[in-house]
Amino acid sequence: MNICQNQNGCKFYQSAILSASEKGKFYIENYCNGDNSKCARLMVFMGKGCAFVSADLFPDHIDRAYQILNESDSKSGIHAQ
Ligand code: SF4
């Protein structure tokens, strides 16, 4: 078991806890309390910051995570202050 360091700030995790759905339990068990090194949300958070982690990015959206990580900041429409 490897507790994700981002649980307190992760809206997806908070939502999954509240929903207590089977799908939510799956993500928590396999990512948040499991192998979070393969979580798309954590990848984007670590690589670009929380502003780039959209609400609809699921832990298994790895292809999309790589796409976000490879986009330039100007292309994504989000600019560093
Ligand atoms: S969804 Fe990903 S970033 Fe969020 S707590 Fe779970 S493993 Fe961490």
SS3 59: coil
Domain residue spans of the chain = 7-76
- The residue type of 64 is R
- Residue closest by Cα to atom 7 of ligand 1: 32
Residues of the chain with pLDDT under 70: 1, 73-81
Q: Please give the pLDDT value at position 81.
A: 36
Q: Please give the pLDDT value at position 65.
A: 97
Mutate to test the pocket of ligand 1, among 7, 15, 23, 48 (most ligand atoms within 8 A of CB): 7
Between CA 36 and CA 76 the distance in angstroms is 25
Q: Please give the pLDDT value at position 5.
A: 93
Ligand 1 neighbourhood includes 42 CB (under 6 angstroms) = yes
Q: Please give the pLDDT value at position 74.
A: 56
Radius of gyration over every alpha carbon of the chain, rounded to an integer in angstroms:
13
Ligand 1 neighbourhood includes 65 CB (under 6 angstroms) = no
